[in-house]
Amino acid sequence: MSSQDVLTVLIAEDSATDRLLLAAIVQKQGHQVLMAENGEQAVALFAAQRPHLVLLDALMPVMDGFEAARTIKLLAGETLVPVIFLTSLSEEEALVRCLEAGGDDFLAKPYSQVILAAKIKAMERMRRLQATVLEQRDQLAHHHRHLLNEQRVAKAVFDKVAHAGCLDSPNIRFLQSPYALFNGDLMLAAFTPSGDMHVLLGDFTGHGLPAAVGAMPLAEVFYGMTAKGYGLAETLREMNAKLKRILPVDMFCCAVLLNVSFQRRTVEVWNGGMPDAYLLRATGGEPLPLVSHFLPLGVLPPEQFDDHTQVVPMAVGDRLFLLSDGVVDTRDENEQLFGAERLRQVLIANQVPGQLFEDIQAALAHFGGQPRDDVSMMDLCMVESHALSLPPLTYTDSGQSSPLDWSLHLEFRAESLKRFNPLPFLLHLLQEIHGLRVRSGELHSVLSELYSNALEHGVLALDSRLKRDACGFTEYYRERNRRLQALQEGYIRVGLQVEPLASGGRLTIEVEDSGAGFDVESVLGCSRAGQGFFGRGLSLIRGLSQQAQWLDGGRRACVVFVWVSEA
Amino acid sequence: MAVESELSQDGKLTIRVKGRFDFGRHMEFRGSYERLQSVPRCVVVDLKEATYLDSSALGMLLLLRDHMGGDKSQVSMVNVGSDVRKILAISNFDKLFDIS
């Protein structure tokens, strides 16, 4: 018998003969024995020596077996100390009392050596089982605490990254579980330098840490490229390439990405694998679904990735509603899906915009679905551009060494125009001018407008009158993509000239294109009258700069920014 | 068995998934093609009795596609019910797999 199998057995029995007889039997089986003459002694011995197993006579002087059993069980706490009652009682009621007092079994007098040995063995199995269960429970609890702590730390780090954005803008409402990160749900929003807003709602495959791991690099790319003024297409390409490179084959990220322009009143959308997002008109009516047309991020290699976006006009008060699959995939007890149609009904029935999430949650509850912890929703409202305050830009250098007298001329030809967006590069260069930094948003807006005018109306010869309604809008951007892909020749020349003035300086931007030009007087006349979607760009440029004119029959734009140094 | 597979004489592996196709089927699903001596000529995933498919199942399908040679792979899905078809459509997996 190994030392592990040796038990300490407490025997409480008032009859000395029986006590010694039992002790002899138990010792013969190789166990150690403690002896008590009554219940009180038994309790005291138990408290002092913690035996593994207790044999208790039911009827004893001073304290009987029932009370002793109760006290011993209380002292033992969670540990299982089997108590076997020794009894000559045979009435059912007395035996029931033994069990009710906490006894695990009983042994009838006169004692059988064989049965006692078998019962001790059986009780020992139970005791070990209980000990194992408790040990594993404690281990699980330990691991769980450990896991929660790791999640807390990971979440704290991630929140620092995620909350760098502008989710707290007054035109955004969102709902997300605090541990959404570990469900793979990701919600990001940030301003571009020109005051547009980039928004991402993503959903990584899987749960737990693996789902959270991809979120960090994705957020870094999102914020980094948005802040530098890159558009959706470039940002999407970079995010896809990065995830493809770092994630295992079976992991990817469904995502819907938006560029909301408050100045142009448009939204640009790319949806890869997320449920339909919706455009809800302020005037009511049928919600416009923004459907997933692409594979999720991280699936396709860069050369196969499709970054085509859809542009839709919006009016002030129109809203964009984004959601994770937790909503439509909620199931009732019959495994029925809540589904897109029920959601559509709720969207149509919604009366108070601020109550939409509550309406949806009420509908889910009414549907009888199991509440899921991975329901993410976002509601973003189109507002006047001045209603939002852009965060101040931060710089790492003092600006003392900024160059103040230089000029630069660049020519972008067909192959570059197809693939390359020069705006982040140009903007970065202009950031070197300290006096212009506070106006980098305006600069970016003006540069974007000038460049897209030169490209779309000049090089690609697109007629902006196409954009007069929502349908034409879609057609316009489809045609833009088609012509750009087919482009063989043409150029855009950008000239930047920076000159110091007595107090401050002057920046002159010239953008020239190879197109046919336009009737400057009539287009500017239109834009003054504020007609339609076209001409808005030109008035924006005039509004933001000190001086703007179009030369060479509309083929060359010349825009001047003047700044006064703060010293 | 929630995942059954069968290899024909001419090297066509048919994998049948029954019930919920989610992370719980991961080992069985991977095992069905990884335990074979050689890479099969083509794979048909039969989803006739699959009631549901989640994003980890999509991940498993990508793994299978990768195993079968990525862009050159021949992996098709057959007997796709309407619920499962919706999920595949949202993710645009019809661009990667032959779905019927």
Q: Which of A205, A293, A295 shows the shortest C-beta gap to B56?
A: A205
Average pLDDT value over all residues in chain A: 86
Q: Which residues of B touch A334 (CB under 8 A)?
A: none
Give A256's pLDDT tier (boundaries 50, 70, 90): very high
Helices A520-528, A536-544: axis angle to 10 degrees equals 80
Residue A441 has pLDDT above 90, yes or no: no
Contact B90 A206 (CB under 8 A): no
Q: Pairing relation of β-strands B98-99 and A185-191?
A: unpaired
> By residue range, what is the domain housing residue B21?
3-99
Which H or E run contains A221?
A: helix A215-227
* Nearest-angstrom CA–CA distance, A535 and A540: 9
Residue A405 has pLDDT above 70, yes or no: yes
Give A214's pLDDT tier (boundaries 50, 70, 90): confident
CA distances in angstroms from A553 to A413, A495, A531, listed in the order given: 21, 18, 22
* Nearest-angstrom CA–CA distance, A353 and A283: 12
CA distances in angstroms from A308 to A295, A412, A481, listed in the order given: 12, 22, 8
Tokens at B69, concatenated: 């040679």
Q: Which residues of A touch B66 (CB under 8 A)?
A: 249
Q: What are A's interface residues with B at a Cβ cutoff of 8 A?
A: 203, 205-206, 249-252, 254, 272-275, 292-296, 299, 325, 335, 337
Write the CATH number for A452.
3.30.565.10
Contact A250 B59 (CB under 8 A): yes
Q: Are residues A450 and A559 in the same domain?
A: yes
* Nearest-angstrom CA–CA distance, A467 and A477: 9
* Nearest-angstrom CA–CA distance, A23 and A45: 15
> Residue A459 in contact with residue A417, Cβ under 8 Å?
yes
Does B55 contact A at CB distance below 8 Å?
yes
Contact A335 B51 (CB under 8 A): yes
Q: Chain B window 5-34: which residues touch A at a Cβ cutoff of 8 Å?
A: 23
Give A397's pLDDT tier (boundaries 50, 70, 90): low
Q: Which of A250, A295, A337 shows the shortest C-beta gap to B60?
A: A250
Q: Are residues A169 and A247 in the same domain?
A: yes
For B65, the closest chain A residue by CA position comes to A249
Write the CATH number for A335.
3.60.40.10
Q: When comparing pLDDT for A57 and A399, which is higher? A: A57
**What's the CA dihedral at A34, A40, A46, A51 to 10 degrees?**
40
Instruction: Look at residue A532 in the predicted model and tell me its pLDDT.
Output: 47
A69-73 mean pLDDT: 93
Contact B90 A250 (CB under 8 A): no
Q: Which residues of B touch A252 (CB under 8 A)?
A: 58-59, 62
In a domain, A152, yes or no: no
Tokens at A345, concatenated: 């009904």
In a domain, A498, yes or no: yes
Strand partners of residue A491: A413
For the beta carbon of residue A434, count every other beta carbon within 10 angstroms. 19
Q: Are residues A322 and A356 in the same domain?
A: yes
Residue A529 has pLDDT above 60, yes or no: no
In a domain, A141, yes or no: no
Write the CATH number for A44.
3.40.50.2300
Does B85 contact A at CB distance below 8 Å?
no
> Residue A266 in contact with residue A241, Cβ under 8 Å?
no
Tokens at A321, concatenated: 């509603």
Residue A534 has pLDDT above 60, yes or no: no
Q: Are residues A322 and A416 in the same domain?
A: no
Domain count, chain B: 1
Contact A250 B51 (CB under 8 A): no
Q: Which residues of B touch A271 (CB under 8 A)?
A: none
Q: Are residues A173 and A268 in the same domain?
A: yes
Specify the 3-state DSSP secondary structure of A300: coil
> Residue A282 in contact with residue A319, Cβ under 8 Å?
yes
Q: Which of B23, B63, B83 shows the shortest C-beta gap to A249?
A: B63
Residue A170 has pLDDT above 80, yes or no: yes
Q: Which residues of B touch A206 (CB under 8 A)?
A: 23, 55-56, 59
Instruction: Look at residue A451 in the predicted model and tell me its pLDDT.
Output: 92
Residue A331 has pLDDT above 60, yes or no: yes
Q: Pairing relation of β-strands A53-57 and A83-87?
A: parallel
In a domain, A399, yes or no: no
- Among residues A352, A384, A416, the one where a domain terminates is A384
Contacts of residue A202, defined as CB under 8 A and 6 or more positions apart, other chains included, come to A185, A186, A187, A188, A215, A218, A253, A254, A255, A256, A274, A297
Q: Are residues A371 and A419 in the same domain?
A: no
> By residue range, what is the domain housing residue A523?
406-563
Ramachandran angles phi, psi of A385, nearest 5°? -65, -30
Q: What's the complex ipTM?
A: 0.86
Q: Are residues A380 and A411 in the same domain?
A: no
**Chain A interface test: which of B30, B91, B93, B94 (most A C-beta within 10 Å):** B91
Q: Are residues A178 and A251 in the same domain?
A: yes
Give B23's pLDDT tier (boundaries 50, 70, 90): confident
Residue A254 has pLDDT above 90, yes or no: yes
Average pLDDT value over all residues in chain B: 91
Q: Are residues A416 and A340 in the same domain?
A: no
Instruction: Look at residue A565 in the predicted model and tell me its pLDDT.
Output: 72
pTM of the predicted model as reported, rounded to 2 decimal places: 0.72
Q: Which residues of B touch A272 (CB under 8 A)?
A: 92
Contact B59 A335 (CB under 8 A): no
Interface contacts (A, B; CB < 8 Å): 48
Ramachandran angles phi, psi of A186, nearest 5°? -140, 130
* Nearest-angstrom CA–CA distance, A264 and A274: 26
Contact B92 A294 (CB under 8 A): yes
Nearest to A52 by CA among A71, A31, A21: A31
> Residue A505 in contact with residue A433, Cβ under 8 Å?
yes
Write the CATH number for B79.
3.30.750.24
Instruction: Look at residue B93 in the predicted model and tell me its pLDDT.
Output: 93
Domain count, chain A: 3
Instruction: Look at residue A280 in the predicted model and tell me its pLDDT.
Output: 94
Tokens at A69, concatenated: 């059993």
